[in-house]
Chains A and B, each alone.
Chain A
């Protein structure tokens, strides 16, 4: 039988146990599918219009929709409706579209909204009259601090979700389940409270747009 070297165990415990504990406590999720086609080999209409809809009114949802809109407007051949125009056409925007919290973390192509919410999305599309509706949420935010004797770091994470729906018909064509993070620097003391979360949301939006352009073949 192999002899256990307690010195090694002790050293490992001293250096890494605090790290392990913190990471475990925050239960990280690492699924990263920024824009995954559900319908394979789909040919997207060009030119066509799209609106990115925030699925809820919490800050992270609204910002995510704003950033994806900006990315797609700058980089894709779609006619992208501005958030301002969406607000004008939909009273009380952003809406509250329920998100299915039962989706498993390893699911690659989830449909995030329960079927009971489809009517809300159809009503939104009817007012916007766009070919595609991309509904997005940020599922949650997470701050992870890792400490060890060699120092430590803190990262803010965001966890976007979304579905692209085609009209007429309301077929769900693609799905987003992603994650992005932004490391806090010593400058955090002098920055706005939301600086790093907003930064992570920008990164996530860029990733989503990268994949969106590839899947829809709509790069400018």
Chain B
């Protein structure tokens, strides 16, 4: 009888779900960075990475990407002090390229407050501005570790033209912040490599 129970469909369903959960738990991030033009060549070296919302988690991600990009690329990355001096009341809310953000980000890359982005880019005086929006942090079964859904756009001077975009999912909330660090390292790596600005010596 017990053998029959273990052969039952319910047990198969439960077992399959456990396998899916285990497999899906293997990767701590997903980062899809895509250039609008594959023949892109950077027209300058200065860049700033900023948060598109006031959420502390979003601000922390922007800061970590900024720090990592400084190590991995030939960009001259604006420091947190430079950013907060140039942008009045940083962080501030910048309308992002999405219609809504609840379970996932309903992206529409044509949306967003381009005027504000242009103003910020002028204030910072940088060739490139990478804005990250992280409006969703989903917890699973009340666990401490959350999945952060985020998107980003890379804008080029002088008219804040969008030259690249990124969709990403990162994990955050583990004790040593290892998952988030892995995720932001990957964002910085892809940003540096895809824009052909990766540093040969710095890793």
* B 1-39 binary contact with A (CB < 8 Å = 1; else 0): 110110011110110010000000000000000000000
Query: Could you say which of B1, B9, B103, B106 contacts A6, with CB atoms under 8 Å apart?
Result: B1
Residues of A within 8 A of B100 (CB): 59, 192-194, 197
Q: Which of the candidate stretches A7-15, A44-52, A207-215 sits at the interface with the other chain?
A: A7-15
- The answer to whether A26 touches B55 (Cβ under 8 A) is no
- The answer to whether B103 touches A96 (Cβ under 8 A) is no
Decide if the interface of chain B is mainly helix, strand, loop or mixed. mixed
- CB of A21 within 8 Å of the partner chain: yes
Q: Which of the candidate stretches B75-83, B135-143, B160-168 sits at the interface with the other chain?
A: B135-143
Smallest CB gap from A26: residue in B: B141
Q: A residues 106-160 with Cβ under 8 Å of B?
A: 140-141, 143, 156
Smallest CB gap from B5: residue in A: A10
Residues of B within 8 A of A96 (CB): 54-56
Given A59-B135, A140-B139: A17 touches B10 (CB 8 Å cut-off): yes
- The answer to whether A27 touches B142 (Cβ under 8 A) is yes
- CB of A25 within 8 Å of the partner chain: yes
Which A residues contact B (CB, under 8 angstroms)?
6-7, 9-10, 13-15, 17-18, 21, 24-27, 56-60, 91-92, 94, 96, 140-141, 143, 156, 192-194, 197
23 CB < 8 A contacts A-B: A7-B1, A10-B8, A13-B10, A17-B10, A17-B13, A18-B10, A21-B14, A21-B17, A26-B141, A58-B55, A58-B101, A58-B135, A91-B89, A92-B89, A156-B102, A156-B103, A193-B99, A193-B100, A193-B102, A193-B104, A194-B100, A197-B100, A197-B103
